[in-house]
Amino acid sequence: MADIIQLLPDHVANQIAAGEVVQRPASVVKELLENAIDAGATSIKLIVKDAGKTLVQVIDDGKGMSNTDARLSFERHATSKIRTADDLFQLHTKGFRGEALASIAAIAHVELKTKQESDDVGNVIVIEGSSVTSQEVIVTPKGSSISVKNLFFNIPARRNFLKSNTVELRHVIDEFHRVALAHPNISFALYNNGSESFNLPISNFRQRIVNVFGNKTNEKLVPVEEDTEVLKISGFVGKPEFAKKSRGEQYFFVNNRFIKSAYLNHAISSAFDGLLKNGTHPSYFLNLTVDPQTIDINIHPTKTEIKFDDEHTLYALLRSAVKHSLGQFNIAPVLDFERDPSLDTPYSYNNKDKADTPKIEIDRSFNPFKEETDSRARAVAYKKEPASSWESLYVGLESKGTKTNQDFSEVRFESEAETVSVFKNDKDVEHIHTTYQLHNKYIVSTIKSGMMMIDQHRAHQRVLYEDFLKNLTVKEAMSQQLLFPLQLHFSNQEIVVIQQLKDDLEHTGFMFSNIREELVEITGVPVGVPESEVSIILEQLISDVENEVPDSNFSATDLLAKSMAKSLAIKTGQSLQKDEQEHLVNKLFACKEPNVSPTNRVTFITMSVDELDKKFI
């Protein structure tokens, strides 16, 4: 029998490797930015077009590459970071496997311009689908400029799996944030379709966070510092009152490398135990410095997951450090119930002289018995006064009485409220209790064939969703004017999303008087929407737009209606009155699709009498 095992060609092997390394344009952004940092760059520019599908370009002022190194960098497992296997456990750089550029070149058009400082001229290499088309000498500044064009041009199936530009750009910006936050000592700039989105100068860690997420972030940060033999922690956590419903602002950096760890995230959440509202998540930006020999960062192709030698110790240290910071800066609740803050001495009065003792003047000639004697004398005098004019009190009484007797014939008594009898006939009893609430979660209603149980949260979502969708389509929503404009603060990226949705939001009843950098001013809200819920609705909407839009054909109107319905629907655990229950049931079955919620979940179930009978067999 002939041999059937054979070695794969290099271009096929590279495409398989690309499937692990390059999932979307954001993956290319991550690899190229990390290469620029490893090259010792102090200034890095990222340029993207069409969310990276058409172009991803990274320009840095690092040390550059020689002619030979530039050519070798596109070979598989070619790297300058590792010489022996032991070097894998002493890593202080970002990329080390040497498969990134080879994988990217296998699925895109790549152009690399690079020059070392000691050289007079540089090199330019053009690669299309793993094959080098040209390599020439070129005049270029010190450093490297690498352009990745037409991603997945030779794998159409992979390109079809990419999401809309809005979603892909969100992933690109996320990767940009992760790298920029980990290296505040490097200046970063991001240009999207020719316009500048971020320009981050060299700064400290706190200032870098503020530059990325907006000036309003500065007042939300609580510093965290802890230095032990095992772990060094530095960074910031967000104050509990600014916790968000999304997990967007959660960053762990281990040895200046962004990682994801559900275990360490739980340590932060437990430190905030009792301080957060249900459904909200704390923000944190924490740098963890550990011995490289105690971690393994080679367990995942994207290197975002790390294996620690002693996770339990790190968990305990991280939890106690965050708790200590929250207590040190008076974020944790005070347990002194008898203390009245209003009685505290203001700081401005600490060093002032004590107040003068008030002086009391006494009238030494005051005699209370003398006044009592005078009052008795006046009372006696009053009794002795003759009642000479008492007859005038009854003048005209006879005529008034006659008129009053005539008016009594026309007196009408106010009708009293009808009192409901405790005992009713059988017909009335059927209509008194048509619905019941079970555990403040389900509404139980009787039907002809048996009983029906309705999930109140999902049912109300369906009702609100169809109402909002109708208002958005017809564009005749009612707006409720606010007495004072509502000012909400958002990051620059969130402001861009709100501006995109401004017209649709106005069709639902929102009214905006001003949208500018990091500030949104609202003068009107949809009827029935509490003012306190506006910020929650917009945060949820921004999160949905950034993370849940499936493709470019997806309707923004539909997404907006779903997001608002999810935010404003009756929550599980909310008690409803009888008329509220019945109104919700009637509104649900007036909908076009009462069977499912906007997220395609069942809103109610039915159980026939026969099924109930079987339960008692």
Per-residue pLDDT of 129-183, as tens digits, reads 878 888 899 999 999 999 999 988 888 888 888 888 878 888 899 899 999 999 9
What local confidence, expressed as pLDDT, does residue 69 receive? Answer: 83
Q: Mean pLDDT, to the nearest integer, of 399-418?
A: 54
Q: 363 by DSSP, 3-state: which?
A: coil
Judge whether residue 14 has pLDDT over 80: no
What local confidence, expressed as pLDDT, does residue 429 receive? Answer: 44
Provide the β-strand partners of residue 189.
45, 199
Contacts for 175 with CB less than 8 Å, ≥ 6 apart: 26, 27, 29, 30, 33
Provide the β-strand partners of residue 148.
56, 110
Judge whether residue 550 has pLDDT over 50: no
pLDDT band at 285, cuts 50/70/90?
very high
Whether 556 is in a domain gets the answer: yes
Contacts for 333 with CB less than 8 Å, ≥ 6 apart: 274, 275
Domain identity same for 240 and 179:
no
What local confidence, expressed as pLDDT, does residue 12 receive? Answer: 72
Residue 95 or 46, more confident? 46
Domain identity same for 188 and 67:
yes
Judge whether residue 287 has pLDDT over 90: yes
CATH assignment at residue 150:
3.30.565.10
Question: d(Cα 221, Cα 66) in Å, to the nearest integer?
Answer: 45
What local confidence, expressed as pLDDT, does residue 44 receive? Answer: 94
Residue 481 or 279, more confident? 481
DSSP character for 259?
Answer: E
Structure tokens at 241: 């009152």
Cβ–Cβ < 8 Å for 306, 296? yes
Q: Mean pLDDT, to the nearest integer, of 460-488?
A: 83
For the chain, the average pLDDT equals 79
Whether 156 is in a domain gets the answer: yes
What local confidence, expressed as pLDDT, does residue 424 receive? Answer: 46
What local confidence, expressed as pLDDT, does residue 230 receive? Answer: 86
What local confidence, expressed as pLDDT, does residue 551 receive? Answer: 44
Domain identity same for 221 and 243:
yes
What local confidence, expressed as pLDDT, does residue 20 receive? Answer: 65
Burial 213-248 (b: 16+ CB within 10 A, else e): bbeebeebbbebebeeeebebbbbbbbbeebbeeeb
What tens digit of pLDDT does each residue of 491-540 get? 877 887 888 788 878 877 888 888 887 788 999 888 777 787 788 778 87
Q: For 577-582, which contacts have Cβ atoms below 8 Å and span 24 or more sequence positions?
A: 578/433, 578/435, 581/435, 581/436, 581/437, 581/443, 582/434, 582/435
What tens digit of pLDDT does each residue of 98-138 get? 577 888 888 899 999 999 988 889 999 999 887 888 889 99
Of 236, 262, 238, 242, whose CA–CA distance to 181 is shortest? 236
Which of 275, 293, 328 marks a domain boundary?
A: 328
Question: d(Cα 564, Cα 547) in Å, to the nearest integer?
Answer: 16
Domain identity same for 281 and 209:
yes
Provide the β-strand partners of residue 515.
520
Structural domain harbouring 457: 435-606
What local confidence, expressed as pLDDT, does residue 406 receive? Answer: 52
Q: For 583-588, which contacts have Cβ atoms below 8 Å and span 24 or more sequence positions?
A: 584/443, 584/454, 584/456, 584/459, 584/460, 584/463, 585/435, 585/443, 585/445, 585/454, 585/459, 587/463, 588/454, 588/459, 588/462, 588/463
Judge whether residue 401 has pLDDT over 80: no
Question: d(Cα 172, Cα 5) in Å, to the nearest integer?
Answer: 40
Whether 386 is in a domain gets the answer: no
DSSP character for 281?
Answer: B
Question: d(Cα 126, Cα 105) in Å, to the nearest integer?
Answer: 9
Whether 382 is in a domain gets the answer: no
Domain identity same for 181 and 244:
no
What is the share, in percent, of the chain residues with pLDDT greater than 70? 76
Whether 415 is in a domain gets the answer: no
Question: d(Cα 446, Cα 104) in Å, to the nearest integer?
Answer: 62
Contacts for 605 with CB less than 8 Å, ≥ 6 apart: 452, 453
Whether 425 is in a domain gets the answer: no
Domain identity same for 158 and 187:
yes
Distances (CA, A) of 81 to 25, 38, 105, 256: 25, 9, 20, 17
Count the Cβ atoms, other than its own, within 10 Å of residue 519.
14
pLDDT band at 456, cuts 50/70/90?
very high
Residue 349 or 562, more confident? 562
Domain identity same for 176 and 243:
no
What tens digit of pLDDT does each residue of 81-92 get? 655 655 555 555
Name the amino acid, one letter, at 2. A
**Lowest mean pLDDT across 15-24, 359-368, 571-580:** 15-24
Judge whether residue 422 has pLDDT over 50: no
What local confidence, expressed as pLDDT, does residue 580 receive? Answer: 87
Which of 200, 230, 264 marks a domain boundary?
A: 200
Quote the Cα angle for 207-209-214, to 5°.
95
> How many domains are there within the chain?
3
Domain identity same for 181 and 227:
no
Of 285, 302, 39, 250, whose CA–CA distance to 146 is shortest? 39
Residue 606 or 421, more confident? 606
What tens digit of pLDDT does each residue of 149-161 get? 998 888 888 888 8
Contacts for 472 with CB less than 8 Å, ≥ 6 apart: 504, 507, 508, 557, 560, 561
- How are strands ordered across the β-sheet holding 122-128? 131-138, 122-128, 109-115, 143-149, 55-60, 43-49, 187-192, 195-200
Q: 431 by DSSP, 3-state: which?
A: coil
What local confidence, expressed as pLDDT, does residue 416 receive? Answer: 54
Domain identity same for 184 and 214:
no
Residue 269 or 536, more confident? 269
Structure tokens at 591: 């909908």
Give Cα 51 to chain centroid, integer Å: 22
Structure tokens at 526: 């949809």
Cβ–Cβ < 8 Å for 31, 39? no
CATH assignment at residue 273:
3.30.230.10
Question: d(Cα 98, Cα 491) in Å, to the nearest integer?
Answer: 36
Question: d(Cα 268, Cα 281) in Å, to the nearest integer?
Answer: 10
Domain identity same for 186 and 224:
no
Whether 408 is in a domain gets the answer: no
Domain identity same for 132 and 18:
yes
What local confidence, expressed as pLDDT, does residue 482 receive? Answer: 86
What local confidence, expressed as pLDDT, does residue 412 receive? Answer: 61
Whether 346 is in a domain gets the answer: no
Domain identity same for 458 and 531:
yes
Cβ–Cβ < 8 Å for 512, 522? yes
Judge whether residue 51 has pLDDT over 70: yes
What tens digit of pLDDT does each residue of 216-258 get? 888 889 999 999 888 899 999 999 888 887 777 899 999 888 8
Count the Cβ atoms, other than its own, within 10 Å of residue 426.
6
pLDDT band at 303, cuts 50/70/90?
low
What local confidence, expressed as pLDDT, does residue 60 receive? Answer: 93
Question: d(Cα 492, Cα 323) in Å, to the nearest integer?
Answer: 31
Cβ–Cβ < 8 Å for 138, 145? no
pTM summary value: 0.66
Of 218, 292, 304, 294, whose CA–CA distance to 261 is shortest? 304
CATH assignment at residue 443:
3.30.1370.100
Which of 328, 357, 390 marks a domain boundary?
A: 328
